[in-house]
Structure 1
Amino acid sequence: MEKQQKPGHLVLVMVPFQGHITPMLQLATILHSKGFSITIVHTELNSPNPSDYPEFTFVSIPDKLTKSQLSGKDAAGLFQSLNKNCAAPLQQCLQKIMNSQGHIAAIIYDTIMFCAQAIADDLRLPGMTLRTSSATMLLLYNAFPELDERDFISKIESPELQPLQLQRFRALLFQNPTEAMVEFRATFLNAVMCSSAIIVNSMEFLEQEAVPKVKKFFPAPTFTIGPLHKLAPTICSSLLTEDDKCICWLNKQAPESVIYVSFGSIASIDKEELIEAAWGLANSERPFLWVVRPGMWVDFGATVAGIQLWRVFVKGFRCYASLSLEINT
């Protein structure tokens, strides 16, 4: 009888942003439960706590990101800098792992850390990409080169994205694109095209039209494994101290009645957009939980905008929001 071969060693390359850290660690947990040994390569920025995951090996690489890059609004520029700064350290790290631990079954990298695909190719290793959001978002990247609006929309049109949303999204993408955005689109798409497999944090039932289109457009096999938070046990991955005071309030609300709002860990918002979103929540007359990250917007103080926002939350006093706003009088 042949001896059963062990699953092997996987190296997962993480992106240092909250919405990407959590699903990558969830995927690592799932793969470890299937018998794989796991090494997590992460940046110095937003490093996970290894003591929370004693079953994994953690290796840190420098990212050299500046505070201005992290606080700015140029997300594409930030992602480009992240990849350019991490490419050489990541290759050295993977080479060291191969020299010390032997064979690597595959490299699984977050799609935003697309430099990992070229490195995997250079080291002759399978490179698999994890898309932490929906399959529909991959269709948007595939349609980037299309300049005709009708073709753009027809390629992506699905119940998940309505035509009006697509028109607005296309206008946002093509209106005065920066050099960093153009470069990001091209390098991102090329990495996905060259990957050995695409892992999507979704399920075909949720995206019945989008997933077949992704499988048609991209040559690599696509696997919908998700939602990951439903498949993996609860993990501790929050970059900020978690505020659980809302749980008591949430338990008192009717099932499926609360609107949850979060703009992620790096997005910033203008005061006009913030006020419009706030009034939308208040006028919905539904209970809502709005997670407001420190530094997401500029302190309004006693400005007209600050007073308007205060009025919104007075109007919505019956709702709970994880928001603290001080107005100096």
Structure 2
Amino acid sequence: MGKRPHVIAVPFPAQGHVKPLMKLAYKIASHGIKVTFVNTESTHKKLFTTSKDVEEQDNIVFTSVPSGSSRTAESQPGMVNVMKESMPGYFKELIEKITSSEKDEHITCVIADSSMGWILDVAERLGIEQVAFNPASVATLAFISHIPKFIESGIVDYGGQVMVPDKVISITESIPPWEVTGLPWSFLGLVGLEKVFFECCETSQQAIRQVKWRISNTFYEIEPAACDLIPGILPIGPLIDADAPRTSATAGSFMLEDLSCLNWLDKQSSESVVYVSFGSVAVMSKQQINELAFGLEISGQPFLWVVRADLTNEPTPDYPEGFLERVGDKGKIVEWAPQEKVLAHPSVACFLTHCGWNSTLECLSRGVRFLCWPSFADQFHNQSYICDVWKVGLKLEQAENGLMSRDEIKNKIGLLLSDENLIANAVRMKKVATETVSQNGSSFKNFEKFIKFLKD
């Protein structure tokens, strides 16, 4: 009898990277394959603070290695280089420990976030098969694969700074172009963070080139031209878990989810609620928070608004005077929501979103329309797909003062709720997303192929 296959999965330590790889890990484990999920120590602590039930899953072991820094924000400037220098040694020790202690199992492969290429290097040196996991769109991956060409042609310098202002960059006519202010490593004009993102993008394009297996949380039907540009890409998404029990925390969340919003949604009319969330990173000024609050209020629609404690640059969120009293039960504000369950709820009509890739797939998969408010990295290009290619959402346009005005927010919500074409397109995309992961769907077949590789 052969040894049991054993997979090691290593995400980049950020919310949008950990969550999809953890979903993939659960899916792999459901096929009887053991998975050891390896986080940095600070990420491991966050997960086990918010998701008490992660240990109960069959075939999955959670462990951690030091990131090389006592600071918790590994994605801050300098932290990526610290991880790159320190983590390979710790990871090698972990692999050797597993190999020596588990005689009835063999490590089939190491699946690592493509931006953690140094982890894949360790696996290669140890003679273990490497798999690169891409948590963003394949279009983003295709774009960063062109980084050497961009540098050679003078479009960007060796640090990722754009050398050709007021220009769009296109890699093929079949994929929407990128504005130079919205590249995959653009980060609110913060040069330090943009450099970190650019280095991660460079690592990703190198990692994708060196491995045989390239898997991505997307599905072929929504970005076929991009998938055709990456040899051997295996779209296995959308990775969703909205059907998990209401009482359980969604695995992979860094923050405690407020499940009370689900009971509030139960009391709302079908397809009436505006769901508002900007992910785990975006920050707004007090003035913008006020405009958004007024916009939601004058829209006349019930709304569920996720307001993180650090969403505003003020010590605490400060709403317009009398706002909470005026909206009353028509609005529900929580610090963090079980997003996939929210989007799957029949009362939700549209999603005012930052257009992160996980949020984009979750919204597409539930037939919900988008109101787009991107702020950095790949979010701007995701918006182009949402509004210009799939035609399931609308863009918010800034006023001359740089703010999204209350009237713009109100008017776009009204359009989203009434546009029959947007409604029909959203329903159609839900059908496509459902079919691709169903029996004989393209992502279903791709995942079966991957499982066969892991078991052989």
- TM-score, structure 1 as length reference: 0.75
SS of the equivalent of 2:43 reads: coil
Shift of 1:99: 2.9
Structure 2 Cα separation of the partners of residues 198 and 232 of structure 1: 27
* The one of 22, 26, 30 aligned to 1:33: 30
Is residue 2:171 matched to residue 1:168? no
SS of the equivalent of 2:332 reads: coil
Shift of 1:16: 3.4
Compared CA separation, residues 115 and 137, structure 1 to 2 (3 A): same
Question: Is the contact made by 2:290 and 2:319 (CA closer than 8 Å) also made in structure 1?
Answer: no
Question: Is the contact made by 2:218 and 2:237 (CA closer than 8 Å) also made in structure 1?
Answer: yes
Shift of 1:153: 3.0
Compared CA separation, residues 17 and 203, structure 1 to 2 (3 A): same
1:132-211 equivalence runs, <5 A: 132-145=135-148, 146=150, 147=155, 153-155=169-171, 163=177, 166-170=179-183, 173=186, 177-178=191-192, 179-211=195-227
SS of the equivalent of 2:221 reads: coil
Aligned match of 1:321: 333
CA deviation profile, 1:202-234 (whole Å, cap 9, x unmatched): 211232333223x2xxx4x21111111159856
Question: Is the contact made by 1:285 and 1:316 (CA closer than 8 Å) also made in structure 2?
Answer: no
- Report the AA paired with residue 98 of structure 2: I
For the aligned residues, what is the CA RMSD? Answer: 3.7
Segment drifting more, 230-239 vs 36-45: 230-239
- TM-score, structure 2 as length reference: 0.56
SS of the equivalent of 2:19 reads: helix
* The one of 104, 126, 133 aligned to 1:123: 126
Segment drifting more, 194-203 vs 57-66: 57-66
Question: Is the contact made by 1:143 and 1:156 (CA closer than 8 Å) also made in structure 2?
Answer: no
Aligned match of 2:91: 90
Question: Is the contact made by 1:143 and 1:152 (CA closer than 8 Å) also made in structure 2?
Answer: no
SS of the equivalent of 1:128 reads: strand
- Report the AA paired with residue 97 of structure 2: K
Structure 2 Cα separation of the partners of residues 170 and 268 of structure 1: 19
Question: Is the contact made by 1:13 and 1:108 (CA closer than 8 Å) also made in structure 2?
Answer: yes
Structure 1 Cα separation of the partners of residues 259 and 27 of structure 2: 26
Shift of 1:239: 3.0
Question: Is the contact made by 1:282 and 1:313 (CA closer than 8 Å) also made in structure 2?
Answer: no
Aligned match of 1:227: 238
Paired-residue identity, % = 27
Aligned match of 2:263: 248
Is residue 2:13 matched to residue 1:16? yes
Aligned match of 1:299: 314
Structure 2 Cα separation of the partners of residues 122 and 172 of structure 1: 29
Question: Is the contact made by 1:10 and 1:107 (CA closer than 8 Å) also made in structure 2?
Answer: yes
SS of the equivalent of 2:182 reads: helix
Aligned match of 1:327: none
- Report the AA paired with residue 215 of structure 2: I
- Alignment coverage as a number of residue pairs: 306
Structure 1 Cα separation of the partners of residues 286 and 11 of structure 2: 32
Shift of 1:7: 6.6
Is residue 2:117 matched to residue 1:104? no
